């Protein structure tokens, strides 16, 4: 696309820190003739891509204020927050992915619902959706002679995947109920383990409870995140660290980033524990027992 990302920091919900985004727009950019110009690169900034991380809704109220003020487009990657919605404020009742200009969802295998692969785009802008649909089926201007006026893609979902999807979407609320029940089981037990904190979901939202993240305080718990990660995986309890931060990944080493601090902390101290909807109460007990067992007294 020729677009260049600029990476932002997260706040304690793991979502984009909107105060820092505002600071960046105010201090690092000029606003000229309705355009945000990056002082460093002199390039125009056109859009913000916000991810609702692990099912926790991002601060869309603040982001939409910035969008209006700076004339930006907002793309919500709501993959991890399918079914999460706001309970309070301007967007009470609105689902993640339905507030910005475009919402995108992946239906990859580990998502709350899956079609095996593929995804979905939502928008209130019908023209934009038509264009996306056109590009996703190879941008054929004439489907008899295969005339392409622009570069298209083969990004459509197959009808078999879509059939899975229509069945899965009916089960979404059931999956969320199970995820919430399991989250509360973990929460009750982990509250008593000194040195481990289960990250909360925003209480002014109804999250989908997709992923359960623990913060490991080495001083209090006795072993650090990496040791806990290794031990649990050795016992066939699948746990994962947070992703390696993108601005530190090889393809983006030369990309701009802005005051990334909190994300660095979470990258080394956070662990995701089993969260599949097919976990039984007994299996959750087993995970909790291990977490208690590894704690150094
Ligand atoms: C926020 C987010 N976006 C996108 C994806 C994946 O998208 P795709 O279906 O294109 O692989 C994932 C996870 O796989 C994700 O967590």
Would the CB of 222 count as within 6 Å of ligand 1?
A: no
CA of 110 to the centre of ligand 1 (A): 10
Would the CB of 106 count as within 6 Å of ligand 1?
A: yes
Q: Which residues contact 123 (CB under 8 A, 6 or more apart)?
A: 101, 102, 103, 129, 132
Would the CB of 239 count as within 6 Å of ligand 1?
A: no
Which strands, in side-by-side order, build the sheet including 35-38? 29-32, 35-38, 44-45
CA of 78 to the centre of ligand 1 (A): 9
CA of 106 to the centre of ligand 1 (A): 5
Rounded (10°) angle between helices 18-27 and 60-70: 20
CA of 243 to the centre of ligand 1 (A): 12
CA of 183 to the centre of ligand 1 (A): 22
State yes or no: pLDDT of 63 exceeds 80: yes
CA of 293 to the centre of ligand 1 (A): 34
- What was the pLDDT predicted at 246? 97
Would the CB of 77 count as within 6 Å of ligand 1?
A: yes
Q: Are 225 and 271 in contact (CB under 8 A)?
A: yes
Confidence of residue 110 (pLDDT cuts 50, 70, 90): confident
Q: Are 210 and 54 in contact (CB under 8 A)?
A: yes
Tokens representing 64 are 């939409």
| Conformational region of residue 83, where left means phi above 0, alpha means psi within -120 to 50, and beta covers everything else | left
Tokens representing 271 are 């662990």
Kindly state the average pLDDT of the residues 82-93.
98
Would the CB of 243 count as within 6 Å of ligand 1?
A: no
Kindly state the average pLDDT of the residues 94-107.
98
Kindly state the average pLDDT of the residues 62-78.
98
DSSP-derived secondary structure for 272-291? EEP--TT--HHHHHHHHHHH
pLDDT digit string, tens, across residues 236-291: 999 999 999 999 999 999 999 999 999 999 999 999 999 999 999 999 999 999 99
* 240 φ/ψ angles, rounded to the nearest 5 degrees: -135, 150
pLDDT digit string, tens, across residues 116-142: 999 999 999 999 999 999 999 999 999
Return d(Cα 216, Cα 225) in angstroms, integer: 6
Report the nearest atom of ligand 1 relative to the CA of 78.
Answer: 1
Confidence of residue 143 (pLDDT cuts 50, 70, 90): confident
> Which residue CA neighbors atom 9 of ligand 1 most closely?
106
Kindly state the average pLDDT of the residues 36-54.
98
Tokens representing 136 are 């996703």
Report the 10 Å Cβ neighbour count for 45: 19
pLDDT digit string, tens, across residues 159-214: 999 999 999 999 999 999 999 999 999 999 999 999 999 999 999 999 999 999 99
Confidence of residue 296 (pLDDT cuts 50, 70, 90): confident
- What was the pLDDT predicted at 163? 95
C-alpha pair distances (Å), 180 with each of 139, 169, 286: 42, 17, 18
State yes or no: pLDDT of 297 exceeds 80: no
Kindly state the average pLDDT of the residues 136-156.
92
Which strands, in side-by-side order, build the sheet including 47-51? 47-51, 73-77, 102-106, 119-122
Confidence of residue 295 (pLDDT cuts 50, 70, 90): confident
Would the CB of 76 count as within 6 Å of ligand 1?
A: no
């Amino acid at each position: 696309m020729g677009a260049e990302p600029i990476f932002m920091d997260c706040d304690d919900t793991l979502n984009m820190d909107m105060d820092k985004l505002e600071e960046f727009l105010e201090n690092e950019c000029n606003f000229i003739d309705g355009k945000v110009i990056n002082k460093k690169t002199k390039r125009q900034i056109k859009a913000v891509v916000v991810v609702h991380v692990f099912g926790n809704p991002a601060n869309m109220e603040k982001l939409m204020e910035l969008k209006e003020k700076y004339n930006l487009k907002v793309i919500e990657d709501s993959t991890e927050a399918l079914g999460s919605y706001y309970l309070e404020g301007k967007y009470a009742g609105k689902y993640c992915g339905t507030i910005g200009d475009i919402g995108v969802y992946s239906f990859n295998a580990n998502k709350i619902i899956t079609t095996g692969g593929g995804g979905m785009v939502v928008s209130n802008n019908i023209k934009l959706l038509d264009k996306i649909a056109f590009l996703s089926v190879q941008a054929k201007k004439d489907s008899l002679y295969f005339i392409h006026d622009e570069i298209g893609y083969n990004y459509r979902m197959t009808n078999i995947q879509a059939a899975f999807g229509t069945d899965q979407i009916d089960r979404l609320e059931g999956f969320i109920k199970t995820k919430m029940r399991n989250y509360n089981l973990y929460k009750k037990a982990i509250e008593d383990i000194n040195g481990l904190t289960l990250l909360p979901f925003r209480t002014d939202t109804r999250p989908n409870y997709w992923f359960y993240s623990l913060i490991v305080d080495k001083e209090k718990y006795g072993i650090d995140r990496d040791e806990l990660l290794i031990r649990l995986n050795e016992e066939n309890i699948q746990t994962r660290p947070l992703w390696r931060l993108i601005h530190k990944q090889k393809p983006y080493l030369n990309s701009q980033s802005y005051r990334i601090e909190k994300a660095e902390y979470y990258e080394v101290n956070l662990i995701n524990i089993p969260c599949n909807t097919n976990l039984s109460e007994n299996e959750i007990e087993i995970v909790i027992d291990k977490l208690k067992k590894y704690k150094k007294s």
